[in-house]
Structure formats: C-alpha cells, structure tokens
C-alpha cells in the first residue's frame, strides 16, 4: 500500500464517525500523491503525514449559560489547534447546531493549507460550538459568548491562537467574545480578528472573503481568456461571504441572479438588489424569502435547487457539501463553465471530480476563500503596529494576495504536470511551505 493510502486508512480507523474529516484528508492526500511519492522515504522516516493529519491539540469543554426564561442551557465548545509550523493557530469559530469535533477537524485541516497559501505567517486552527444563535436574543447570545470565552481564553493569545468569525459568528459575537477576553485577562491585544473598527478591527475584513473570492475568480478567468463582465452568476447562501461576493461581482460587471439560505432560494432575473438583501440579512436577521415580498421581479422557491438555475458561473458560499454530483451535472448542462468556492468544501468529492473531468474552471475553497483569513492576518499586523490602514490600502493588499494565490496554485499544478487543476495546485503549494517548516523544526 502506498504511504498516502496507508495514512488515509489509518485516519478512517482512528477517527471513527468523522466523515467530513475523512473527506478533507482524502481530497488533500490524493492530490499530494505526486509530491509524496517522490519523497516517500524521507517523509516516512519523519512520520510526516502521521503528524500532518493529527491536530497538535483539541480542547473540548462545556459551555453553560442561562436563557431568557432562567433555564440553564449547556452546549459543547471546541478549539482544534491543528498546526502551528508557520505561525500562531488561526481560523474561525463556528456557531451552528451541526458543529461537532469531526467538522471542526475538517475545517482546521483545510485551514492549515489555506493559511499557508496566503503567504502570511499563520498556522491553522478552527473552533466553535453546537450553539444556534438563530432565534436567540442579544442577551442570550452574550451570555453564551461570555461563557464560551471564559474557557477558551485559557488557550488563546495574540501570539498563540487568534480565532475569527465563521458561520454564525459575525460582528456582534466577536464583540461579546472580545469584551470577555479583555475582562478576564486585562489584555487589549489582537486576540481575535473581525473586530469592530473602533476597537482594533481592520477595514475590508467584513468584505474580505467575498471580495477575495471574486478577485481570484477574475484572475482565473483572465488566465483562461475569459472575463467576468457580462456573465450571469448564481451565489448560494446569503451570509457574509455570499453578500460581499455578490457586491464585488456586481462591481466588476457581472449579473448575480440568485441567493439562498437554509430554507430556500430566490431568483431575480433583473439582478439581485443587494441593498435589500443587506437590510434583510444584516439589519433584521430575516429570511431570504422576504426578498421576494419586497421585489416584484423575484421568485422564491422553498428547499434546495439553486444549482438548477441557468448561469455562466457558480459561487457556492453557504456550507460544506451543498453541491453534489447531480448539481454539478445540472450546472454543466445549463452552460456553467466556472465554479469558485466561497464556502469551505461546498462541493462533494464527486462534484469536484466532475468539474475537473469536464474541463470546467474550478477554484477550490482553500484558495478561493483565503481572502478572509489573509485580511485577518493584516488585522493582526495592524494591531501589532498599533496602526490602522485605509480601506484602499487593505483592499490593494487583499487583491495582491489573491492574485498571488492564483499564481502559486497555477504554478504548482504546472510543475507537477496537471496544468489547470487548481485543486492539486492549491494543495501542493500550501503543503510545500508547511512541510518545509515542519522538517526544519524537528520532531514536534
Ligand atoms: P454566515 O453565517 O454569514 O452565512 C452562512 C449562509 O449559509 C447563510 O445564508 C446560511 O443560511 C447558509 N447556510 C448555513 N448552513 C447551511 C446549510 N446547512 N444548508 C443551507 N444553507 C446553509 O456564514 P459565512 O458567510 O461567514 O460562511 C459561509 C461559508 O464560508 C462557510 O463554509 C464558512 O466556513 C466559509 N468561510 C467564511 C469566511 C468568513 O470570513 N466569514 C472565511 C472563509 C470561509 P441560514 O441563515 O438559513 O443558516
């Protein structure tokens, strides 16, 4: 059995019930096979892959809090500190009922390579809880966040582990978490990113993942003699990533015709009016269905099905495994020629393989959504310098980073004889830097 197959079998055996983690490891290891086979003896001796797939540490804790009826609630809390070879652990916190250790391990594992690709000195981690902020009052969300941070604060720090937002964690939650960290430790430091602009946040962080996604999409299109202007785009989700991907795509001349949430999707043949979406989602925390009541040209459909809408470009920006093989086939049949992932692993393995086998341009999440964490790292730099850069300065750096990520993925794919396969390219380029650092630092 090859070293790669051996390690994958061990991961499945030793991490039972963690399907998303298995899926992420398989996808990465398969595309690294060429590199690993070429260095097998060296890597085996150093147990490099065994170390790469095992988190340095997982912290798991209980999160008790009191709801508005005076009832005590208990949630599970986690922080997966996956790999610190190239910098302090960095990665978001997710608050969603589906959160479990396996999902956070998949996200932490992906984060290691993504952070490496940014070219910035950040290791990989991820955390969160099965707490559901939906339908909770502000006081309940604060009570949860304060309890969560009371435990988490023991394990994080500006030079140790710097969490950020993810699904269910936006400006409100980061504010509550930061306030509690400061109160417990007395430290006013860059321990979280995605902070408000008045207390250490960076301009562009809110927009960064969505903008970055469109910057790298644009770069991929240009390099393949295509352009974004005039194209019809379908975006799934209607959260942070989806909203700002839509905004940048519109700024660059594309027409975004659909958005969704976990209940259903809207189709607006005239193009999405983003100010209305922002009012529904960012101000009122409402459902995407409300868009169809406000805009006569829009149609709302309950349930899944967003990928059956005809488009040139698809940007999945909701959650993992939201786009399966049938969806991929429907996209292709309708003329879609490019897919870039705003979410983490939104396409199933079968869907990804279909895109690659059918010559569709495909940019995987770990490259395409790296703009968020890259801008978080820029926020850390500003915090350390006690300076704030302008919107244009940060935006220009973000764009430069995304163009550079494309170049690295493109170059690695070409070097290993799989030109145009940006899945392999991104994995190889991310892997090379982490592995060099791990080899240099000895057996740790
Ligand atoms: P938000 O919580 O702001 O938005 C998530 C969106 O996805 C919502 O519209 C939500 O709908 C929808 N969604 C969530 N779960 C499901 C589900 N199971 N089925 C269908 N729709 C669902 O999160 P973000 O926009 O921040 O994150 C979206 C994705 O992007 C995630 O995969 C995240 O890991 C990834 N990402 C985010 C980054 C960031 O900077 N925010 C950085 C890099 C990656 P509903 O409201 O109904 O739940």
CATH, domain 57-188, list 3.40.50.10860, 3.40.190.10, 2.40.40.20, 2.40.50.140: 3.40.50.10860
Return the bridge partners of 264, or none. Answer: 302
Cα–Cα dist 370/214, whole Å: 11
> What is the bridge-based pairing of β-strands 264-268 and 298-302?
antiparallel
Identify whether 255 is a catalytic site residue. no
Q: Which of 90, 105, 114, 126 is catalytic?
A: 126
| pLDDT, tens digit, 9 for 90 and up, residues 383-420 | 999 999 999 999 999 999 999 999 999 999 999 999 99
Mean pLDDT of 100-104: 98
Helix, strand, coil: what percent of the chain each, to 5? Answer: 50, 15, 35
| pLDDT, tens digit, 9 for 90 and up, residues 362-378 | 999 999 999 999 999 99
In contact, 291 and 266? CB cutoff 8 Å: yes
Ligand 1 binding pocket (C-beta < 6 A) is 165-168, 209, 237-242, 261-263, 317-319, 322, 342-344, 369, 372
| pLDDT, tens digit, 9 for 90 and up, residues 180-226 | 999 999 999 999 999 999 999 999 999 999 999 999 999 999 999 99
Question: What pLDDT score was predicted for residue 1?
Answer: 85
Mean pLDDT of 147-152: 98
- CA 279 vs. chain centroid, Å, equals 24
Question: What pLDDT score was predicted for residue 60?
Answer: 98
Pair of tokens at residue 377: 């790292």
Same fold, 57-188 and 210-368: yes
Q: Over 90: is that where the pLDDT of 168 sits?
A: yes
CA 435 / ligand 1 centre spacing (Å): 30
Name residues whose C-beta falls within 8 Å of residue 376's C-beta, 6 or more positions apart in sequence: 90, 122, 162, 164, 193, 194, 202, 205, 208
Burial class (CB within 10 angstroms; exposed 0-12, middle 13-18, buried 19+) of 30: middle
Cα–Cα dist 112/89, whole Å: 9
Burial class (CB within 10 angstroms; exposed 0-12, middle 13-18, buried 19+) of 290: middle
pLDDT above 70 as % of the chain:
100
Question: What pLDDT score was predicted for residue 198?
Answer: 96
CA 239 / ligand 1 centre spacing (Å): 6
Which among 90, 109, 163, 166 is the best mutation to test ligand 1's pocket, defined by most ligand atoms within 8 Å of the CB?
A: 166
Cα–Cα dist 84/112, whole Å: 8
Question: What pLDDT score was predicted for residue 434?
Answer: 98
Strands (E), 289-386: 298-302, 313-315, 338-340, 361-363
Name the H helices within 156-198: 171-185
CATH, domain 210-368, list 3.40.50.620, 3.40.50.720, 3.20.20.80, 3.10.105.10: 3.40.50.720
Q: Over 90: is that where the pLDDT of 177 sits?
A: yes
Ranges of each domain in the chain: 57-188, 210-368
Closest-CA residue, ligand 1 atom 33, reads: 343
Q: Over 90: is that where the pLDDT of 34 sits?
A: no
| pLDDT, tens digit, 9 for 90 and up, residues 295-315 | 999 999 999 999 999 999 999
Length of the chain: 444
Largest CA distance in the chain: 65
């Amino acid at each position: 059995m090859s070293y790669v197959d051996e390690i994958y079998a061990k991961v499945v055996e030793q991490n039972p019930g963690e399907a998303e983690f298995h899926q992420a490891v398989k996808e990465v290891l398969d595309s690294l096979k060429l590199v690993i086979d070429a260095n097998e003896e060296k890597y085996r001796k150093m147990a490099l892959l065994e170390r790469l797939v095992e988190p340095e540490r997982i912290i798991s804790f209980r999160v008790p809090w009191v709801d508005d009826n005076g009832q005590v609630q208990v949630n599970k809390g986690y922080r997966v500190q996956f790999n610190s070879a190239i910098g302090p652990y960095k990665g978001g916190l997710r608050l969603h009922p589906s959160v479990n250790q396996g999902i956070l391990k998949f996200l932490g594992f992906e984060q290691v390579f993504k952070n490496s690709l940014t070219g910035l000195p950040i290791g990989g981690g991820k955390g969160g809880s099965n707490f559901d902020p939906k339908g909770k009052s502000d006081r309940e969300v604060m009570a949860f966040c304060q309890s969560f941070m009371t435990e988490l604060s023991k394990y994080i720090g500006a030079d140790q582990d710097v969490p950020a937002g993810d699904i269910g964690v936006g400006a409100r939650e980061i504010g509550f978490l930061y306030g509690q960290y400061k109160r417990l430790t007395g430290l006013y430091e860059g321990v979280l990113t995605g902070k408000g602009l008045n207390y250490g946040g960076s301009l562009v962080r809110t927009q960064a993942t969505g903008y970055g996604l469109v910057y790298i999409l644009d770069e991929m299109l240009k390099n393949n003699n295509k352009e974004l202007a005039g194209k019809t785009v379908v975006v799934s989700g209607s959260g942070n990533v989806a909203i700002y991907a839509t905004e940048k795509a519109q700024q660059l001349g594309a027409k975004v015709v659909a958005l969704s949430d976990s209940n259903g999707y809207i189709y607006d043949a005239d193009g999405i009016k983003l100010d209305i979406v922002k009012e529904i989602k960012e101000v009122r925390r409402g459902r995407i269905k409300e868009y169809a009541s406000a805009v006569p040209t829009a149609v709302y459909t309950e349930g899944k099905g967003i990928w059956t809408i005809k488009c040139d470009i698809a940007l999945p920006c909701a959650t993992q495994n939201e786009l399966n093989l049938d969806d991929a086939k429907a996209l292709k049949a309708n003329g879609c020629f490019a897919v870039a992932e705003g979410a983490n692993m939104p396409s199933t393995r079968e869907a990804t393989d279909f895109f690659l086998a059918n010559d569709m341009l495909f940019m995987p999440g770990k490259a395409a959504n790296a703009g968020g964490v890259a801008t978080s790292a820029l926020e850390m730099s500003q915090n350390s310098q006690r300076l704030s850069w302008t919107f244009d300065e940060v935006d220009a750096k973000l764009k430069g980073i995304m163009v550079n990520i494309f170049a690295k993925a493109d170059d690695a794919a070409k070097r290993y004889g799989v030109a145009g396969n940006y899945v392999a390219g991104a994995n190889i380029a991310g892997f090379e830097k982490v592995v060099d650092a791990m080899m240099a630092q000895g057996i740790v």
